[in-house]
Structure 1
Amino acid sequence: MTAPHPPGWATRTFVYGVSGWVTLLTYLFMLAPIVVLVAFAFNEGKSSVVWTGFSLDWFGKVWSNRHIARALNVSLIVAGASAAIATAIGALAAVAITRRQFPGRDLLGAALAAPLVLPEIVLAVALLVFMSFAGVTLGYTTMVIGHVLVSIPFATLIVRAAASSLDPRLENAAADLGANEWQTFRMVTLPQLMPAILTAFLLSATLSFDNLVMSTFTSGVGTTTLPLRIYSMLKLGITPEINALGAMMVAANVAILLLVMGRYLPLMLNSNRR
């Protein structure tokens, strides 16, 4: 067998080189607005165009704004509740799909992944029409239901990837030692899935906290979330206060993303090795 020839200069230049530069420029184009937003959050003046000096005053004004504090409280409540429900449903469904054989298994998997391919605004309008038909008042309940619909596919896929990499011999050994199905799940399967479940919860909470489209159609009086509050503030123009709030949200999302990657990336790598 002859050894493969190394790529020529044309391949290195026009394929690897050009693709690398295109990828780099694409990331720079995507990240440039975030960098500008974070930079002007520390601007001393009220302008979001002209830099006048370094200051942390706008972060203090964000914390002292009672409307923002109320919206943050609503977002945290909805994110926590919807993430817990979506993770519970997604984890149970993922275990059932990967570890059990039953009629309609493929249909269940497709139904759980459907919100990924459907436009979110279509789901939001459909949910609004259904809630209006059922006579349900818009508020925390409708928002949690809407955010669960958006988060379930991600939670299911994360736990499903981890469940597919589990060694079935451990469950068989527990059954041989006299453990029933519930004991096997609680003492063998669930502890191995906890990193993935925590990752699914964090990602679902982040998706809910940052959601704007579903919140727009399902929020009621007194349940304005933080993204909705920011959107209403933008109608009066971009100010360093909005930049400071955006910078804080970027920092929180990056921290959660790093935590999710630290938990979930090793699971994916191990799954690929097997």
Structure 2
Amino acid sequence: MSAPRAPGWATRTFLHGISGWITLLTYLFMLAPIVILIAFAFNAGKSTVVWQGFSLDWFGKVWSNRHIARALHVSLIVALASAAISTAIGALAAVAITRRQFPGRDVLGAALAAPLVLPEIVLGVALLVFMSFAGVTLGYGTMIVGHVLVSIPFATLIIRAAASSLDPRLENAAADLGANEWQTFRMVTLPQLAPALFTAFILSATLSFDNLVMSTFTSGVGTTTLPLRIYSMLKLGITPEINALGALMVVANVAILLLVMGRYLPLMLKTNRR
């Protein structure tokens, strides 16, 4: 004889099933525009709503468009530079906050997280006013500074979470063996933070590459990023060329995601088994 089921068992089962379907439908609703964008990137005609046949011509036009190539070059330079700076500053700040006691530590942590709660348009306007007051010409330097301002809180939080979980006994053992602080940081702390550093770098680079608001206020002549170029193209209407460019960006993002998962997911699973 089977044991009696708890009261409300059928209701809970029904709600669990419904919640699963709602979650699935929500994701499908969110991903549907991306699927439609990629599909019409292969449209032979210029229409973005009427299918007129399969073609790869729009990808060729994107590849040969010198304005898009120039904007992509600018975006890559700014993204890599700002990600490297954000990761470096975030690593130093995270280690200092989690490993050291010094006056103003809480203030430093709050200052690093402040850009998260401030509207980005406010940060962009403030930085533009400051650069104008200081007489700084807008260009690569101002864009990198602006993107670092936006991405450094994310890099710091990621690395700080990893640094707080490190075993201090390893650093003490290195000191007992004669290593100074720099050697301990370089040979003991830094290797343990490598996954977090890589994650912070990828996230910072992605935030910088996709940034539109801060780039609008800090870009100068000859430093138009890819999002700004796409925004200017949209003013003339949505074309399959924009769809093709969007499809290429989606493929690039998926490739980066697979790279990160392939590099660090086995390590994370191995750590969890332990």
Partner of 1:225: 225
Q: CA deviation at 1:87?
A: 0.6
Is 1:156 matched up with 2:162? no
Distance 1:46 1:272, change over 3 A: same
Letter in 2 for 1:10: T
Deviations 1:22-60 (A, max 9, x none): 222221121111111011111111111111111111111
Instruction: Report the secondary structure of 1:259's partner residue.
Output: helix
Q: CA deviation at 1:206?
A: 1.0
Distance 1:271 1:218, change over 3 A: farther
The answer to whether the 8 A contact 1:163-1:193 is kept is: yes
Instruction: Report the secondary structure of 2:26's partner residue.
Output: helix
Whole-Å separation in 2 of the counterparts to 1:180 and 1:203: 32
**Aligned residue runs from structure 1 range 123-138, under 5 A:** 123-138=123-138
Deviations 1:201-223 (A, max 9, x none): 11111111111111011111111
Q: CA deviation at 1:266?
A: 7.3
Partner of 1:24: 24
Partner of 1:176: 176
Give TM-score scaled by structure 2 length.
Answer: 0.92
Percent of matched pairs sharing the same residue: 87
Distance 1:267 1:121, change over 3 A: farther
Partner of 1:12: 13
Whole-Å separation in 2 of the counterparts to 1:163 and 1:270: 19
Give TM-score scaled by structure 1 length.
Answer: 0.92
The answer to whether the 8 A contact 1:203-1:260 is kept is: no
Q: CA deviation at 1:173?
A: 0.5
Letter in 1 for 2:229: R
Whole-Å separation in 2 of the counterparts to 1:29 and 1:248: 21
Is 1:166 matched up with 2:171? no
The answer to whether the 8 A contact 1:83-1:148 is kept is: yes
The answer to whether the 8 A contact 1:90-1:152 is kept is: yes
Instruction: Report the secondary structure of 2:236's partner residue.
Output: coil
Partner of 2:50: 50
Partner of 2:194: 194
Q: CA deviation at 1:265?
A: 6.2
Whole-Å separation in 2 of the counterparts to 1:251 and 1:100: 42
Deviations 1:59-89 (A, max 9, x none): 1110100100111111111111111111110
Instruction: Report the secondary structure of 1:81's partner residue.
Output: helix
Distance 1:115 1:13, change over 3 A: same
Instruction: Report the secondary structure of 1:242's partner residue.
Output: helix
Distance 1:267 1:213, change over 3 A: farther
The answer to whether the 8 A contact 1:196-1:263 is kept is: no
Partner of 2:236: 236
Whole-Å separation in 2 of the counterparts to 1:153 and 1:236: 36
Whole-Å separation in 1 of the counterparts to 2:33 and 2:89: 36
Distance 1:197 1:49, change over 3 A: same
Deviations 1:138-187 (A, max 9, x none): 11111000000111011111111221221111101101111111111111
5+ residue gaps, structure 2, are none
Distance 1:224 1:101, change over 3 A: same
Whole-Å separation in 1 of the counterparts to 2:115 and 2:85: 16
Partner of 2:204: 204
Q: Which moved more, 1:18-27 or 1:59-68?
A: 18-27
Count of residues in correspondence between the two structures:
270
Whole-Å separation in 2 of the counterparts to 1:167 and 1:269: 19
Letter in 2 for 1:143: M
Partner of 2:139: 139
Q: CA RMSD in A?
A: 2.2
Distance 1:270 1:147, change over 3 A: farther
Q: CA deviation at 1:21?
A: 2.3
Distance 1:272 1:174, change over 3 A: same
Whole-Å separation in 2 of the counterparts to 1:271 and 1:6: 40
Distance 1:6 1:260, change over 3 A: farther
Letter in 2 for 1:78: V
Distance 1:6 1:68, change over 3 A: farther
